[in-house]
């Protein structure tokens, strides 16, 4: 939202503390990961790089020290490589019990269930068998697969920074990196690991989605002892990915300091934008940021823009008066939906928000109009959803509670709603 617009939308509400300290830490950490995942890193000079918070007006500069990153990477993988190889040869699995009706014996016959089945149905000689199946796709195996994919990715990335024509400080690591790439390929080509990785890529977007399941299994004692070293290594690996350099020069640390300076309402606005990017990206089909404009992201289907400058057909002193919804989703050049983030509770009065959304929907060129506006409220109390339609039901406006602590269902609904248009 343009800071110049709708300043009457209860500034007091914007300053409400709707995010407790634990949630603030959580969304800052999540934002840090998402911004690094979707933002380009720009080369400035020999020792400087720049990442953009959401557009070019928010640059964050940091020193690059590729050599220390690579050295740490090689050390971590070298230290635990033998353990990972041994773990793969002794993968654990969950046993699942299923009862199957069959004319031939499969597994063990359950005599009691067979008796009941034959007494109640025309069984034609069928029996009920107990079948034990192995489930390889345990949370610990899935994070193992994700870790191996990450190791291979980084090895390739570092090797890609070594120019064959121009020697740099990374040349001395070329053999070690090539060995790690070959090693990770060897492990990933294991037929069981290959199945695990395929399942992970098809069903998850990041290892973070599996961590809560891991915690539950660890708490209930379901994780085998030989996997405990993997969990320790995973914690170190996460730290490595986030803090690859010394704190004062690391882009994650610098971005964390920058996010600490942002207001709650700005953090929520950024969180809504980057979570929108996340739900419309897929494994192996990540939304790519346009080089020409750091506020526009595309994949093969959608174009998602941050603070789209929407002309509404009005001028002030001969200058156009734009409006800037937080998120605009387009398909084939047509605006499918407008999403706005409000750091306020979903409770009356909401007149100013309603008026703002009506302007977004109804004003401006035909190509810039939309039939759907979604307003997400940072309401920890899960206020009642409000739905508005125009007279012919062709336009829809929804006000929904979407607090970071309880957002999964709402974000999934947004994804399904947009995909259905």
CA distance 118 to 123: 5
| Strands 372-377 and 396-401, sheet pairing | parallel
Half-sphere exposure of 299 (CA within 13 A, CB side): 16
Q: Are 259 and 28 in contact (CB under 8 A)?
A: yes
Number of Cβ atoms within 10 Å of the Cβ of 370: 22
Domains (ranges, CATH) in the chain? 11-45+263-419 (3.40.91), 66-92+136-242 (no CATH), 94-135 (no CATH)
What are the pLDDT tens digits along the chain (421 aa)?
443 444 444 443 445 678 998 899 889 888 887 887 777 666 666 556 677 666 665 666 665 546 767 887 888 888 888 999 999 999 988 877 777 767 666 667 777 777 777 777 665 668 788 777 788 899 999 999 989 988 998 888 888 777 666 566 678 888 999 999 999 999 999 999 999 999 888 888 777 788 878 888 888 888 888 998 888 888 778 766 654 434 334 566 677 778 888 889 889 999 999 999 888 876 545 555 555 555 778 877 888 888 766 555 566 666 655 667 889 898 888 889 999 999 999 988 888 899 888 888 876 667 677 899 999 999 988 778 999 998 889 999 999 999 999 999 999 999 999 999 8
Residue 256, C-beta contacts closer than 8 angstroms, at least 6 positions apart: 28, 29, 32
Long-range residue pairs from 176-179, CB within 8 A, at least 24 positions apart, any chain: 176/74, 176/78, 177/70, 177/74
Q: Under a CB-based contact definition with an 8 Å cutoff, are residues 245 and 235 in contact? A: no
CA 248 vs CA 26, 49, 253, 254, 258: distances in Å: 21, 14, 7, 7, 13
Kindly state the DSSP code that residue 385 receives in the 8-state scheme. P
**Predicted pLDDT of residue 14:** 45
**Angle at the Cα of 158 (from 60 to 143), degrees rounded to 5?**
90
3-state secondary structure of 105: coil
Q: Which residues contact 87 (CB under 8 A, 6 or more apart)?
A: 144, 226, 227, 230
Distance between CA atoms of residues 282 and 302, nearest Å: 12
Q: What sign results for the dihedral spanned by CA atoms 23, 384, 336, 307?
A: negative
Instruction: Report the distance separating Cα 293 and Cα 231, nearest Å.
Output: 40
pLDDT of res. 421: 87
- The pTM is what? 0.55
């Amino acid at each position: 939202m343009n800071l110049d617009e709708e300043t009457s939308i209860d500034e007091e509400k914007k300053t409400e503390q709707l995010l407790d300290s634990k949630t603030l830490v959580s969304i800052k950490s999540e934002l840090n990961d998402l911004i690094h995942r979707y933002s380009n890193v720009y080369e400035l000079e020999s020792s400087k790089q720049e990442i953009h918070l959401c557009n070019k007006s928010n640059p964050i500069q940091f020193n690059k020290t590729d050599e220390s990153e690579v050295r740490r990477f090689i050390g971590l993988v070298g230290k635990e490589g033998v353990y990972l190889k041994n773990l793969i040869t002794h993968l654990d699995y969950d046993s699942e019990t299923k009862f199957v009706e069959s004319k031939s014996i499969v597994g063990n016959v359950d005599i009691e269930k067979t008796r009941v089945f034959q007494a109640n149905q025309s069984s034609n000689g069928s029996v009920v068998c107990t079948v034990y199946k192995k489930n390889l796709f345990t949370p610990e195996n899935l994070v193992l697969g994700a870790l191996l994919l990450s190791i291979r990715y980084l090895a390739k990335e570092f090797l890609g920074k070594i120019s064959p024509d121009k020697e740099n400080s990374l040349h001395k690591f070329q053999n070690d990196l090539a060995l790690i790439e070959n090693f990770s390929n060897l492990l990933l080509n294991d037929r069981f690991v290959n199945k695990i990785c395929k399942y992970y890529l098809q069903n998850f977007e990041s290892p973070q989605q599996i961590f809560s399941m891991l915690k539950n299994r660890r708490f209930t004692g379901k994780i085998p002892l030989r996997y405990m070293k993997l969990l320790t290594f995973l914690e170190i690996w996460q730290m490595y990915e986030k803090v690859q350099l010394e704190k004062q020069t690391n882009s994650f640390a610098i971005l964390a300091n920058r996010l600490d300076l942002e207001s709650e309402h700005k953090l929520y606005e950024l969180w809504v934008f980057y979570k929108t990017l996340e739900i419309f990206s897929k494994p192996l089909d990540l939304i790519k940021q346009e080089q020409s404009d750091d506020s526009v992201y595309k994949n093969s289907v959608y174009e998602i823009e941050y603070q789209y400058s929407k002309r509404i057909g009005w001028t002030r002193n001969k200058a156009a008066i734009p409006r800037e919804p937080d998120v605009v989703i387009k398909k084939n050049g047509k605006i499918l939906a407008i999403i706005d983030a409000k750091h306020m509770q979903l409770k009356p009065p909401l007149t100013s928000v309603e008026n703002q959304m009506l302007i977004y929907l109804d004003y401006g060129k035909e190509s810039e109009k939309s039939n759907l506006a979604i307003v997400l409220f940072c309401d920890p109390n899960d206020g009642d959803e409000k739905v508005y339609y125009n007279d012919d039901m062709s336009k829809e406006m929804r006000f929904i509670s979407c607090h970071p602590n309880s957002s999964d269902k709402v974000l999934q609904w947004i994804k399904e709603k947009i995909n259905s248009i």
